[in-house]
């Protein structure tokens, strides 16, 4: 049974929905066939819902140290255990691969997260520590900093004499002065729309989008190199690709994270090219359509395909199809689904973006296989060598295809408490010998956002609130309970991200019960609050919807790579486990003749 009705009542209590706003949206809306770029007027009665620079939503009320904005403390009033200490104690590097799922399962997850969420920061992270990596005095600490302390006996950073990991707090409605009452808890702001609308490809407003459009034939701007189309080069390489060397390619894009890592880049380029492939074909089917019509229709089809892939290919591998149907995340139908919730705010849940969904970091692999058409591995890339470097896709003319084959063949890492040091020690290291720790950042960021404790969220998701650590035995192993006892004073102190990451996985699920509860809430919310969801009767004709339902990640790969000739039916399941490779020509394809106007 869905928890949405319970959640919505709490959502109202938490003060996230209110009269005070950080964004002045339009005062009236026209019911158009195409979604806006900034999410405005998706909800006709509440035009500013889902806009960039609006608040995250919450399942449970914020839990700050002072009730307003300071970092949480233990129930006793003492400081919580350090984020870096928790990282080294609970989340070490142990390489265990998933038995069935490809690395694309993890990577598509990051692709989605960049579509739904981007916290607003008020400046550079670096100001929160000294240039030598030392903690600043309280008197000289810039406002808005929440640096992570590193102990003298840290197994890694102590050798580099680093005692401070910089972290700038997320900008809130209090910081922006857009909350009427200063007695309400601070709510963080997100920079992107709350909808699954490929905003990481198309941008979040008209001005940014105009910089990637060709304004001819409905196309996005591209450059041709080695017989392949690529996004255009950035005019500000230092900003978009800070670790690039002098002659590196660096893509201009609508999202600052576009060039973050090779596999994310690969997916972004595939969907970027897919837009142009659709637009080009539509111009043949309907030669009388102008540039704007071609752009909007291609974007609409591209987003619909993406939503179908996410809900009917990707999500079933995370939770199982039966659970998704029983929780009404998806429906067992070939027809329309009209359960749009126009009275519910689509704001992305804070517990989702800054706790449950970050558990995907456990599946990251530090070495990326490059594979030939026969799926033999001839080489690999070290992840930390290629952060923020688009050149990773164009070292040679075959590298993009080799990387994409590897992404859809190499197994992701197991969903457990272990993490690769490429992200827990060498994250964004650039030319340095050591980088950042994503686990420490995840923990500190969840505290920055004042997320409810693991114990509180666990109770919301149907379990009795733990009085002693042993009461966690319904959701995690005795070994993990003992680990928590060694770090925390009592059950109410356990961070949501930490407790959820240690839960035992449910059958047919990649996560435990608390994280599954949060994730399902968000995926239900994202679908039912989107007036332009691809399965609504207003979006496509029945023949067109039948074509959209043919969309698959494997077909996106086949249609937008240079020399990939075969793929498994489901790109998220490794070939040789459940599926085998088949010729691209035999994969179902969307017939764009269904969009022909007589």
Which residues contact residue 526 at a Cβ distance below 8 angstroms, ignoring those fewer than 6 apart? Answer: 116, 194, 195, 196, 346, 348
Burial of 33: CB neighbours in 10 Å, binned 0-12, 13-18, 19+: exposed
State whether the Cα torsion 268-123-176-444 is positive or negative: positive
How far, in Å, CA of 524 to CA of 348, rounded?
A: 11
User: Which of 114, 359, 411, 480 is the catalytic position?
Assistant: 114
How far, in Å, CA of 523 to CA of 255, rounded?
A: 22
How far, in Å, CA of 500 to CA of 98, rounded?
A: 19
Name the CA radius of gyration of the chain, rounded: 23
Number of CB atoms found within 10 A of residue 21's CB: 17
For residue 404, give both structure tokens: 């994409």
Which residue, chain included where needed, has tokens 């498994």? 568
Nearest to 69 by CA among 152, 13, 143, 119: 143
Which residue, chain included where needed, has tokens 């699920």? 509
CB neighbour burial string for 338-354, b if at least 16 within 10 angstroms, e if fewer: eebbeebbbbbbbbbbb
How far, in Å, CA of 126 to CA of 165, rounded?
A: 9
| Segment holding 99, helix H or strand E | strand 97-102
How far, in Å, CA of 478 to CA of 277, rounded?
A: 53
How far, in Å, CA of 514 to CA of 496, rounded?
A: 9
Q: How many helices (H) and strands (E) does the chain have?
A: 21, 12
Cα dihedral: 445, 429, 259, 500 (round 10) = -30
- Would you list the DSSP string of 151-179? -TT-TTGGGGT--EE--BPBPBHHHHT--
For residue 561, give both structure tokens: 């790579």
Give the end-to-end CA distance of the chain in Å, rounded to a whole number. 46
For residue 334, give both structure tokens: 């070939």
| Segment holding 368, helix H or strand E | strand 367-371
For residue 271, give both structure tokens: 């969907």
CB neighbour burial string for 99-112, b if at least 16 within 10 angstroms, e if fewer: ebbbbbbbbbbbbb
How far, in Å, CA of 439 to CA of 203, rounded?
A: 28
How far, in Å, CA of 334 to CA of 338, rounded?
A: 13
Task: Give me the phi and psi of 554, to 5 degrees please.
Answer: -65, -40
**What pairs with residue 190 in β-bridges?**
54, 119
Is residue 114 annotated as a catalytic residue, yes or no? yes
Q: Annotation-wise, does 478 bind a ligand? A: no
How far, in Å, CA of 2 to CA of 521, rounded?
A: 8
Catalytic residues: 114
- Output the known binding site: 361
Annotated binding site for heme b: 361
């Amino acid at each position: 049974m869905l928890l949405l009705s319970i959640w919505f009542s709490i959502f109202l209590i938490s003060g996230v929905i209110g009269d005070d706003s950080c964004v002045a949206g339009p005062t009236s809306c026209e019911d158009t066939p195409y979604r806006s770029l900034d999410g405005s007027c998706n909800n006709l009665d509440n035009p500013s819902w889902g806009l960039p620079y609006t608040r995250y939503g919450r399942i449970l009320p914020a839990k700050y140290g002072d009730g307003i904005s300071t970092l949480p403390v233990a129930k006793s009033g003492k400081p919580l255990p350090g984020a870096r200490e928790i990282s080294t104690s609970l989340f070490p590097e142990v390489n265990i691969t998933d038995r069935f799922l490809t690395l694309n399962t993890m990577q598509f997850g990051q692709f989605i997260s960049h579509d739904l969420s981007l916290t607003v920061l008020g400046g550079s992270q670096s100001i929160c520590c000294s240039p030598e990596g030392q903690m600043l005095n309280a008197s000289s600490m810039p406002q808005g900093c929440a640096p992570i302390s590193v102990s003298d006996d840290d197994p890694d950073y102590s050798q580099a004499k680093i005692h401070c990991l910089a972290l700038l707090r997320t900008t809130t409605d209090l910081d922006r002065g857009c909350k009427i009452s200063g007695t309400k808890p601070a709510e963080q702001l997100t920079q992107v729309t709350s909808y699954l609308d490929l905003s990481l490809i198309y941008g979040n407003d008209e001005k940014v989008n105009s910089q990637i459009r060709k304004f001819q034939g409905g196309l996005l701007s591209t450059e041709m190199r080695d017989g392949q189309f690529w996004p255009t080069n950035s005019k500000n390489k230092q900003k978009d690709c800070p670790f690039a060397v002098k002659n590196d390619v660096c893509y201009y894009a609508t999202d600052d994270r576009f060039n973050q890592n090779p596999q994310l880049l690969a997916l972004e380029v595939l969907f970027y090219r897919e837009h142009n492939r659709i637009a080009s074909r539509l111009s043949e089917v309907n030669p009388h359509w102008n540039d704007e019509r071609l752009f909007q229709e291609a974007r609409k089809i591209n987003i619909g395909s993406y939503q179908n892939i996410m809900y009917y290919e990707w999500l079933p591998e995370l939770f199982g199809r039966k659970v998704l149907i029983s929780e009404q995340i998806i429906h067992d139908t070939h027809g329309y689904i009209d359960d749009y919730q126009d009275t519910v705010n689509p704001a992305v849940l804070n517990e989702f973006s800054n706790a449950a969904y970050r558990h995907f970091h456990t599946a990251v692999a530090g070495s990326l296989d490059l594979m030939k058409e026969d799926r033999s591995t001839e080489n690999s890339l070290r992840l930390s060598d290629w952060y923020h470097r688009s050149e990773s896709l164009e070292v040679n003319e075959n590298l993009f295809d080799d990387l994409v084959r590897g992404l859809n063949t190499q197994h992701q890492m197991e969903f457990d408490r272990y993490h690769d040091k490429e992200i827990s020690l060498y994250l964004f290291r650039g030319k340095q010998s050591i980088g950042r720790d994503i686990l420490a950042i995840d923990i500190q960021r969840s505290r920055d956002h004042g997320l409810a404790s693991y114990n509180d969220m666990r109770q919301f998701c149907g379990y009795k609130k733990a009085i002693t650590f042993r009461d966690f035995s319904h959701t995690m192993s005795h070994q993990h309970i003992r680990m928590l006892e060694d770090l925390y004073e009592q059950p109410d102190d356990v961070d949501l991200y930490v407790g959820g990451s240690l839960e035992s996985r449910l059958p047919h699920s990649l996560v435990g019960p608390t994280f599954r509860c949060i994730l399902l809430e968000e995926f239900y919310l994202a679908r039912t609050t989107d007036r332009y969801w691809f399965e609504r009767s207003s979006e496509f004709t029945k023949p067109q919807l039948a074509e959209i339902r043919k969309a698959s990640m494997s077909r996106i790969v086949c249609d937008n790579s240079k020399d990939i000739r075969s793929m498994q039916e489901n790109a998220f399941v490794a070939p040789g486990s459940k599926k085998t490779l088949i010729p691209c020509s035999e994969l179902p394809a969307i017939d764009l003749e269904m969009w022909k106007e007589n």
